[in-house]
A = this chain, B = another copy of it.
């Protein structure tokens, strides 16, 4: 039987501390103390500190990419809207899990993986805003989804870029019925 409880516990604790104090605000010592193991143990399970973050983010990122790929191949409006709703749902989960990204080194943000995410969120903002003709809805979508997806639109160039943001409660606020 393979021992993975420690590894899982590290991920659980790291997610909590990253969300609360940010990536840079959480040291390996902090995580190790909370897990109840040594710092060296963390680095036995994960090659670098960044690897912990990557392990946390990867699943949600994959789901996000998959859904957008499916979404792109659908024309029926009802199906498309449902897919978009699912997308928003995923983005919210993604957002929660990646709340920490803002804190990461610039080099890290420039990884190809995040270029991909940037494209996807760009498409998301455009697609979601397109569901309503009301300009207010569109701007609202930009702000809400932009915030949720850790994306901002540049004042002048209209370029979409990853940005620090933490809107962990957005799910609850966005879906009023759910309580």
Using a CB-CB cutoff of 8 Å, which residues 68-104 of chain A contact chain B? 99, 102-103
Docked Cα-Cα span, A164 to B102, in Å, equals: 9
- Interchain CA distance A176-B22 in the complex, whole Å: 32
Cβ distance A81 to chain B, nearest Cβ, rounded Å = 16
Contact digits for A138-166, partner B, Cβ 8 Å, 1 yes 0 no: 11101110110000111100000001111
Q: Report which of B22, B102, B139, B167 forms a contact with A146, defined as CB distance below 8 A.
A: B167
- CB proximity of A127 to chain B, nearest CB, Å: 16
> Is A24's CB under 8 angstroms from B103's CB?
yes
A174 to B152, CA, bound (A): 13
Q: In this assembly, does A21 line the interface, its C-beta being within 8 Å of a C-beta of chain B? A: yes
Q: What CA separation (Å) do A22 and B166 show in the bound complex? A: 13
Nearest chain B CB to A121's CB is how many angstroms away? 14
A168 to B174: give the CA distance in the assembly, Å.
21
User: B143 contacts A166, CB within 8 Å?
Assistant: no
The answer for the CA separation of A170 and B146 in the assembled complex, in Å, is 9
- Known: A22-B164, A24-B25, A106-B21. Contact between A147 and B143, CB under 8 A? yes
The answer for the CA separation of A25 and B139 in the assembled complex, in Å, is 30
Q: Which residue of B lies closest to A20 (CB)?
A: B106
Report A111 CB to chain B, min CB distance, Å: 17
Question: Is A67 positioned at the interface, with any CB of B under 8 Å from its CB?
Answer: no
A112 within 8 A of B: no
A165 with B147: CB separation less than 8 A: yes
Our pick among B138, B144, B163 for the contact of A144 (Cβ within 8 Å) is B144
Show 18 residue pairs from A and B whose CB-CB distance is below 8 angstroms, ordered by the A residue.
Answer: A22-B22, A22-B164, A24-B103, A25-B105, A102-B102, A135-B176, A136-B176, A143-B144, A143-B170, A147-B147, A152-B166, A152-B167, A153-B169, A153-B172, A163-B166, A163-B168, A165-B165, A165-B166
